[in-house]
Amino acid sequence: MQIPEITAFVLSSVFMISTLAPLIRWDDWWIRIFDFPRLQLWLIGLTGFILCLCFFHFSGPFHYIFAAALLACLIFQTSKILPYTRLYHQEVIRFKGKQDAENRVSVLVSNVLTPNRNSDKLIEIIRKKKPNMFLTLETDLWWEDKLDELEKDYPYTVKIPLDNLYGMHLYSNLELENAKTKFLIKDDIPSIEAYVKLPSGKKVKIYCLHPMPPSPTESDTSTDRDAELLLVGKKVKKADETTLVFGDLNDVAWSYTTILFRKISGLLDPRIGRGMFSTFHANYFFLRWPLDHVFHSKDFMLNEIRRLPSIGSDHFPIYASLQFRPVAEKVQEEPEADAEDEDLAREKIDKADPIVKTEKTQYKAFSL
């Protein structure tokens, strides 16, 4: 083999192994990590395929079989990426009617990176975008103190300052009701549940999440992350309410766990048919994927979704503006779970041994 042929073989082999690995439904981090860089892997695979066509001699069956397997993996990866491009049909309809502020809600999500000290950048973005709600993640007491100046505009708050990278703060200029801090899987990883009241009087159930990712430095497996997502998914489906789920889910939009979550919950993803809106890693343009999400029930239409400028964190903030329109339920199809999906979700939840009985209420509200 000549060097170009060896290069084609090595690149293509790495791509095929990385493509096939996530099909093994083990929770180990070194398997689940391949869920994330599908676009990057696709580019590696495409490069390998072009090199194979240019430098393979195709003098025997091995070359043909290898090239066919490589092409099959490319097609598979394309099928996973395509929904998150403009070449795919949009899952959520864009609202084009008369603007109705009474039934509009906007959300900004920002994982600030605890040691980041560029609070002014985040505050500037919030003042510019004026979301109805914003959720900050990895926020500790230092960040809480810096964000206090926004409370005159966002009087309804849920504050959970932590030093373990899982602090969480929710600020809203719409009334919050029955706000609760919950610890679904671990007693030091919180989530928030509440109702937000739109100006029209419509109440929307919200869930704010930041589960632990599978990685060698945090969790050896994705078990706890998967279980938290699926527990919330089941609650959403059972309640059958107008719902928003948002946060840093530490999972990509196209992973089988996130897709399973959407099937179990019936929630829609405004990214589909519009783009990836990759939020992590902010410092490396060639290593980015969508970790921060806003999912919603099918009675919402989309005004805007946008990745916002860097605030010095390893995550970009993401912003979504939605319009509550019950008529949208007639034309927007929600994902549906079959019996196999339900069994898999139940199995994953049981495996994590969730502590859903552990709850705290940490809610602070001021009158306007």
Helix intervals (H) in the chain: 3-20, 29-32, 38-55, 61-81, 119-129, 141-147, 223-239, 256-265, 339-352
Residues of the chain with pLDDT under 50: 357-368
Q: How many degrees, rounded to 5, is the angle at CA 215 between CA 347 and CA 33?
A: 75
pLDDT of residue 142: 98
Token pair of 326, please?
Answer: 């019950």
Q: pLDDT of 216-252, one tens digit each?
A: 888 899 999 999 999 999 999 999 999 999 999 999 9
Question: 0.85 cut: is pTM over it?
Answer: yes
- Cβ pair 172, 132 in contact under 8 A: yes
pLDDT of residue 4: 82
Among residues 259, 302, 284, 252, the alpha carbon closest in space to that of 97 is found at: 302
* Cα torsion angle, 24, 30, 33, 34, sign: negative
pLDDT of residue 355: 59
R_g over Cα of the chain: 22
Q: pLDDT of 297-337, one tens digit each?
A: 999 999 999 999 999 999 999 999 999 999 999 999 999 99
pLDDT of residue 1: 65
Question: Which are the contacts of 154, defined by CB distance < 8 A and separation ≥ 6?
Answer: 133, 134, 171, 172, 173
